[in-house]
Structure 1
Amino acid sequence: MAVRPQHMHDGGIVERRLRPIYDWLDNGVNKKALQEAEKVLKKSPTLQAARALKALALLRLGKKCEAQAVLEALAEEKPSDDTTLQAMTISYRESQQLQKVCEAYEAAVRAEPGSEELHSHLFMAYVRVGDHRAQQRAALQLYRIAPKNPYYFWAVMSVVLQAKSTEDVSKKGILLALAQRMVDNFITENKMEAEQEARLYMMILELQEKWEDLLAFVEGPVYAQLVPGSTLQASIPYLRRLGRWRKLNLVCKDLLWENQDRWDYYMPYFDSVFELMKSDERDESDGSADDTAEKCHEFICSLVESVSAGRALRGPYLARLELWRRLAAHEAGGSAAALLGSARALCVQYLRVFAAKPCAVADLRPYLAIIPQQEREDHCRDFLTCLGFDENSEPDNAADIQRHVSCVCAWRLCAPPPDAAASLALAHALRAHYLRCVRAAPAPAARSPTDSSPADAYATLAAHHYCYAAVQLQEAGPLVQALGVLELCARRSPAQPHAKLLLLAIYHMLGAGAAAETAFARLEAKHVQLASLGWLHAARLPAAAPALAPARLADVHTFYQHHAKDSVEQLTYAYKYGTFEKLVELGAWRARLEACAWAALVPPCAPRAPPSQTWRPPHSGTRETRSSISPTSWR
């Protein structure tokens, strides 16, 4: 039989006694927390909450056997008060005994079968261990106790996850049909209340590939009520799946008139235009659909003209380039040039209008390839001079510096590969531009450390050209010059990642492992960056700097050890806030991370690092104890 902690009228006394333990645990002073727990237990030896907090303090002090003994004794008493259970939950999570959390709450639910809170915690315990069948059972029981929509849709999502995790096609179909019927009942009874519920229903239909039903639901009254004003946007992927190109064309045109800069509307619009062009059928009754390249071009031009003066939008300008690219692929470029003119002229025009934006060259890069190579190389300087600049221009304000940088980048992308002498000359000129801007700019202390300067691009461009020259000459001298300008850039703009990444690469090229470690430390890589950026650095460190490798490899190894434990809490938050789509994304992300080759290579060669050097999981911080188990957080 479960031991009852205290009577309800003693709650204030108990809270005052436990308060110092919470405070010490929150501050990470676990020895003091243990002492305070012992004091409380001398006065109240049967107080379960104090014993659970004592177990948590023992666990964080490294006394796992003693903590386990206390937890086992508590588990035998089958506590049902939430304070004790939450403290036990944290201890079990930190010791990776998630199944015991389920057992503790199962016993508590049997003791108090009508407690909504205990049933909710039991459901979350099943989420942490990934038992989807038990999740479904717990969610339905919770819905019977407290008939609220979120609990019902927890059960529906649990059925969907069972379907996604099975490889049996027939079983998957049965489970998805069950989930659809569960939601259909709610739709029939007019019980749908939230947007996420509608999106979950759409996810179920998508998994069954019921595109007609999806389109009917999106265009129906329930979706319009739950997600007002988004029917047209939501119908786009399903019109595309069903091949209803004429209707898709009209929908995208309506949406583009309202927002001319939405690139996610342009792509299905172009798809519909070219599918209609392939079709021999012509619907003369509906002349507003664009089924020819001429109509498409006319529509894009009208979008350009509709933009108010002084407010240039990138979307319509890029749309002309996209139309040119698709026409060139469709009809070998003849009709594209006849209708739109030269692709080079369109690219230069785009650069002339948007060069002041840092994204201008990134926007243009996919379309530079449609210009014939010989034409691109012969007229490469058109990109540099289109705004009156050349490589020796000296712009004196931030907007002109960004324009000059964009023009230089576009020029170098189109120009033929330079020889070593030309690379060095351009690198010297770019470094001189950067140093001139440094002298003219305010001191770093006068700027926010998170601000980067457009002039930083001069430094990174110069470093790239020094690297080209070094590779061609097979000399280290240009690399040293690149390091000089990059170090200055990294110190003046601490938030500039490109300079730090180039420093890391060049130090490894020179075999300077210790300097590379310093550059990597400046990146302040955390969590998943230890896996992505760590591959660039930690994999090379054992050969370059063997003495520095253990701590860095241990950081990466510890991240891989802890990511599974930490990610289960993200799953519980997704259920709490009803973001069911995130559950699928988080599952895919976990699978991708576990399949990473870096994860397989690190453990065999990752020695244990000193405690001060290892990456700390979130539970070792100072916030979780109070937010999870402090009684004041429930009020």
Structure 2
Amino acid sequence: MERGNYREGIQLCNKALKKQPDFHVAKALKALAFERCGKLNEALQLCEEIQWAKPTDEPTLRTLSMVLKSAGKYEPMVKLYENASKVHPKNENLAIQWFMSLARKLDFKGQQSVALQLHKNFKKNSYMFWAIMSITLQGQNVPANQPNVLYQLAERMMSKMNTEGKVETIEELQLYLIILLGQKDRQADALGLLEGEIGVKTKAIENVELRYLRIQLLIQVGRWKDARDATMQVLKEINSDDWRTILQYFDTIFLPIQDTDLKTSENLAEARAFISELVKNEGKTPKRGPFLAQIELEKRVQEKIGDNKATVLDLLVAYFGKFGSKTCCFEDLSVYISNLDKEDALGFCKRLKETFGEKSETVKDIAIQINIARFERFIGLQSKLNSTEAMALVNKLWKLYEDALPFGKELEETERQYGDDYAIMASHILIDIHRETKSYVPLLNATFMLEHALSASKHNYQIKLVLIRIYELLGAFNCAAFIYNTMAIKHVQHDTMSHFITDRASSFGLFSEALSQLYSAHEIYHSNESETPEMIMQAYKYSTFSKMQEFIEFQSRLENSVQKMVADREMIRLEFMKEDSVKGAILWLQELEIVNLKYDAQFCESRIDNRDTTVMLNWNPKGSPSVEALTRAASQPGHVWLTLFTLVPRLLKHMAHLSPIDAEYENLVTALEKLIQSSVSENSSDHHSELTVEEARLAQIILQVSKAYQTLSIAIVAQNSNSPTKEDPAKTAATVKGHLAAAAALLKKRESVKSTGVLPWQTFHGLTSAIETVAYLNVANQCLTNLIATKANKKGVFKATSSAVQDFMVQCRQSLQAVQTDVVALRNVVKPDRIRNGLLYEICDGSSVDFVRSPSHQAHIEDKTLKIGASWMASLVNLQQEAESGML
């Protein structure tokens, strides 16, 4: 087993069990071997058999725990260790494992009880702190408007431990502080604790976080001088670059006085002198903090009394003079530049140009020029360019990029080239041109330049992020996926970053490839279920109470992640689409678990959005959309999108079971109606709707078909029950026909695709949406047919309804035929020869981009264009197959 030879391990276990069928350890080891082989169901079945025997020996329990932990099954672990601990009450390890199994499933009340029992039996202080922590965690879930008796209980227990001298470590002190600060108006008590005997004993002042907390508490209780002295001590003696402490220092200056008194305030004069002293004390390698503090101080003064505008501008220019070659310079100053008026912002950039010119003779010069270019874009100097000026700037930036390449010849492969940001900024301008002209040639030019830059900076993730987004806009999912897969996304990044590749991944028609990306990204949620509970357990084991809340919050953020919900819904769509027959799709829907398919407002509002939308470099002017927002193929999926793609499978599942109409089904239909009413209509000019036109149309079509099913189902139930209120079959047929006619009319609204040489995302989204819609309709039509064909309705009562359904099925097939016609035409357009003679010619003929005109880059451009074409072809081939299978 330890060598990974699980098959042999299973054979050995079988031999042992043959001789001794009740040999629990052998059976547990066999379960472990099954789990390691990927046969989880078989492993859990064996575990269940052992659980009935209620084993109490530690080897069996330990082995079972390994299997159950892997499967995220914590409740059986709790019961196993609870039983074993009660059988052997003097076995400390069993009791500890009982507590830990409760900790894994966040059963705080159960933890409290077991921890107190541990303390009673084994008299160790750590167990009492476990109990107090468990009570505290319960207290955090008490509503704010209710008295928190749990915090009060935890405080009494902690006070007793402190009185008895049993609070001895920083972590135990922090637990005490968590309890106090979790209650209203207890800052003074928390401060007294920090400054008291226990704070001295644990050397709390040497802990960075507790030192910061003490100053914050001093400010909150109004001990301004003590707080000021503490911040000054930290900045003078420990770290002058501690920005949090610098901000605390300013709080002690500005909060105690009225704005009208600021000009004559001794505090202000003292602050200016103190910050100047910090600046003077910086040596040959100065830290940024004191210099930024000068700017921050004068900015606050300007905001309050407005008499030092020139001072702020001078400090900004001086800061750039000292740190302008650092990458962080833009991030440091942009918040201040954004507060300048237009004239001063232009003056700032003009002074930089006058001071530093345009020389790029050293690596430092290159970094300075890049920062100047960033600020020029940030203040809007690139926003009003006409197409000729914009293209000239693209060529200038690319020339600067190429001129910087020789300086990076000796760089390691993992390092970025010094001029990479020139290439990225050039791509940003090309994105602007695309947005302005609606032409896709600028985006193609951007991909050629960025791909070339990427060959010199193979690990520059900023280049890769822009490329991924541009490829998606160009409809080339395979190209985007290839770049994304080189980024080595790990751990929690799957939650924060995967939206770059998974959002509407189903829209490209490459269902298997999209599913692969979603499965890969989804691993973080599975590991969260198994690994984070272990982190919480370790926090108890080593009494790191300060980290406990972080681990629990981390687990909650992942468990309730918006991205997790989006990925779940997208996987359901793709798995449904992969079913190759209507019969298979109906069976798949019948087996679909809907326990987690929630859509109510409370559920949606409780989701946590961890998606990182700020990771992409962005130098766009303040108030304008970021590059990340501008390069989205469609609006980011949120609550409305989640609700739609939760309602669709739930409605279809109800139909698949041929279930009678109940309150749940009516609620689903009502929810879909409300969603359609509240979402932006097709004709609206509001481009910020979460749903695309195609998605909104899908919602309307599903609503009509759902109502048709509802009408027919109710009529059949009434007919079969001989109810006196049963509907006239002719009226039922008319109602059903009306709903299906409305759905058919919506189906016909899809516009035929016209190729302009490029097949953007919108093209594939329209084709895929049409195929997906008909796939849902095929299921709905079959369910309607099955309803009519039930034994009680063979007298032909609903013959007219059946005819309406058959007519609608013909219209669905016609819709797919139209898709097929479009796909066949597009396949001819994207053949390699057609691309060479068509799109490539259009790109290169008379191009204004120097990079594209260069003969040395023609092979590179052709290669990238053909790869984009190959991705288009792969999407079209798959869509054609899907359309054909949908007509069978």
TM-score by length of structure 2 reads 0.60
Quick one: distance in 1 between partners of 2:318 and 2:261?
Answer: 36
Alignment correspondent of 1:578: 543
1:578-617 to 2 correspondences below 5 Å: 578-607=543-572
Quick one: distance in 2 between partners of 1:162 and 1:261?
Answer: 38
Match of 1:538 among 502, 512, 515: 502
Alignment correspondent of 2:236: 257
Q: Does 1:188 align with 2:163?
A: yes
1:473-552 to 2 correspondences below 5 Å: 473-547=437-511, 548-552=513-517
Quick one: distance in 2 between partners of 1:380 and 1:527?
Answer: 41
* Stretch moving more, 293-302 or 461-470: 461-470
Alignment correspondent of 2:248: 268
Quick one: distance in 2 between partners of 1:57 and 1:36?
Answer: 11
1:408-419 to 2 correspondences below 5 Å: 408-416=373-381, 417-419=383-385
Compute the displacement of 1:594 (Å): 3.7
1:71-86 to 2 correspondences below 5 Å: 71-86=47-62
Q: Does 1:234 align with 2:213?
A: yes
Q: Is the 8 A contact 1:260 1:315 kept in 2?
A: yes
Letter in 2 for 1:568: P
Letter in 1 for 2:2: Y
Alignment correspondent of 2:289: 315
* Stretch moving more, 148-157 or 265-274: 148-157
Match of 1:119 among 95, 112, 122: 95
Match of 2:304 among 316, 322, 330: 330
Shift in alpha-carbon separation, 1:544–1:191, aligned structure 2, 3 A: same
Match of 1:264, SS state, is helix
Match of 1:371, SS state, is coil
Letter in 1 for 2:299: R
Quick one: distance in 1 between partners of 2:167 and 2:314?
Answer: 54
Q: Is the 8 A contact 1:127 1:568 kept in 2?
A: yes
Alignment correspondent of 1:278: 258
Alignment correspondent of 1:175: 150
Q: Which runs of 4+ in 1 moved over 6 A?
A: 279-282
Q: Is the 8 A contact 2:506 2:570 kept in 1?
A: no
Compute the displacement of 1:98 (Å): 1.3
Q: Does 1:87 align with 2:55?
A: no
* Stretch moving more, 401-410 or 550-559: 550-559
Compute the displacement of 1:249 (Å): 1.8
- Could you tell me which runs of 5 or more consecutive residues in structure 2 were left unpaired when the two chains were aligned: 576-888
Alignment correspondent of 2:324: 355
Shift in alpha-carbon separation, 1:306–1:582, aligned structure 2, 3 A: same
Alignment correspondent of 1:436: 403
Higher relative contact order (CA 8 A, sep 6+): 1
Letter in 2 for 1:466: L
Q: CA RMSD in A?
A: 2.8
Letter in 2 for 1:247: D
Quick one: distance in 2 between partners of 1:280 and 1:225?
Answer: 44
Compute the displacement of 1:35 (Å): 1.9
- Could you tell me which runs of 5 or more consecutive residues in structure 1 were left unpaired when the two chains were aligned: 1-20, 283-288, 610-635
Q: Is the 8 A contact 1:490 1:496 kept in 2?
A: yes
Compute the displacement of 1:281 (Å): 10
Alignment correspondent of 2:370: 405
Shift in alpha-carbon separation, 1:96–1:379, aligned structure 2, 3 A: closer
1:104-183 to 2 correspondences below 5 Å: 104-167=80-143, 170=146, 173-183=148-158
Match of 1:369 among 338, 346, 352: 338
What are the Cα deviations for residues 9-59 of structure 1, in whole angstroms up to 9, with x where unaligned? xxxxxxxxxxxx2332xxxx4323212323444566554322211012234
Larger radius of gyration: 2
Q: Is the 8 A contact 1:273 1:293 kept in 2?
A: yes
Letter in 1 for 2:336: Y
Match of 1:213 among 160, 181, 189: 189
Quick one: distance in 1 between partners of 2:23 and 2:86?
Answer: 21
Quick one: distance in 2 between partners of 1:142 and 1:156?
Answer: 13
Q: Is the 8 A contact 1:163 1:176 kept in 2?
A: yes
Letter in 1 for 2:91: S
Compute the displacement of 1:324 (Å): 1.8
What are the Cα deviations for residues 298-352 of structure 1, in whole angstroms up to 9, with x where unaligned? 21111111223x1212111111111122112211x21x34xxx432221111111
Q: Is the 8 A contact 1:102 1:122 kept in 2?
A: yes
Q: Does 1:380 align with 2:344?
A: no
Match of 1:454, SS state, is coil
Quick one: distance in 1 between partners of 2:105 and 2:71?
Answer: 14
What are the Cα deviations for residues 192-249 of structure 1, in whole angstroms up to 9, with x where unaligned? 2221110010000000131111111111121122135337543111112212223222
Q: Is the 8 A contact 1:380 1:415 kept in 2?
A: no
Letter in 2 for 1:363: D
Quick one: distance in 2 between partners of 1:151 and 1:495?
Answer: 48
Letter in 2 for 1:136: Q
Shift in alpha-carbon separation, 1:219–1:279, aligned structure 2, 3 A: farther
Compute the displacement of 1:559 (Å): 4.2
Compute the displacement of 1:354 (Å): 0.7
Quick one: distance in 2 between partners of 1:454 and 1:185?
Answer: 61
Q: Is the 8 A contact 2:6 2:33 kept in 1?
A: yes
What are the Cα deviations for residues 124-165 of structure 1, in whole angstroms up to 9, with x where unaligned? 100122211110111122223333333221111100011112
Letter in 1 for 2:66: I
Alignment correspondent of 1:6: none
Alignment correspondent of 1:461: 425
Quick one: distance in 1 between partners of 2:149 and 2:431?
Answer: 60
Provide the aligned length of Structure 1 versus Structure 2.
Answer: 566
Quick one: distance in 1 between partners of 2:300 and 2:75?
Answer: 56
Letter in 2 for 1:206: L
Compute the displacement of 1:177 (Å): 1.1
Compute the displacement of 1:109 (Å): 0.7
Quick one: distance in 1 between partners of 2:240 and 2:433?
Answer: 44
Shift in alpha-carbon separation, 1:468–1:605, aligned structure 2, 3 A: closer
Match of 1:395 among 354, 357, 361: 361
Quick one: distance in 1 between partners of 2:26 and 2:19?
Answer: 11
Compute the displacement of 1:478 (Å): 2.7
What are the Cα deviations for residues 268-299 of structure 1, in whole angstroms up to 9, with x where unaligned? 111111123329999xxxxxx98432221121
Match of 2:205, SS state, is coil
Shift in alpha-carbon separation, 1:597–1:76, aligned structure 2, 3 A: closer
Q: Does 1:31 align with 2:7?
A: yes
Letter in 1 for 2:3: D
* Stretch moving more, 61-70 or 81-90: 61-70
Alignment correspondent of 1:613: none
Compute the displacement of 1:169 (Å): 5.2
What are the Cα deviations for residues 590-621 of structure 1, in whole angstroms up to 9, with x where unaligned? 33334433333332331588xxxxxxxxxxxx
Quick one: distance in 2 between partners of 1:271 and 1:482?
Answer: 47
Letter in 2 for 1:94: S
Letter in 1 for 2:442: P
Match of 1:423 among 378, 390, 399: 390
Quick one: distance in 2 between partners of 1:595 and 1:109?
Answer: 34
Q: Is the 8 A contact 1:276 1:292 kept in 2?
A: no
Shift in alpha-carbon separation, 1:92–1:415, aligned structure 2, 3 A: closer
Q: Is the 8 A contact 1:423 1:465 kept in 2?
A: yes
Quick one: distance in 2 between partners of 1:280 and 1:247?
Answer: 24
Q: Is the 8 A contact 1:395 1:404 kept in 2?
A: no
Shift in alpha-carbon separation, 1:421–1:224, aligned structure 2, 3 A: farther
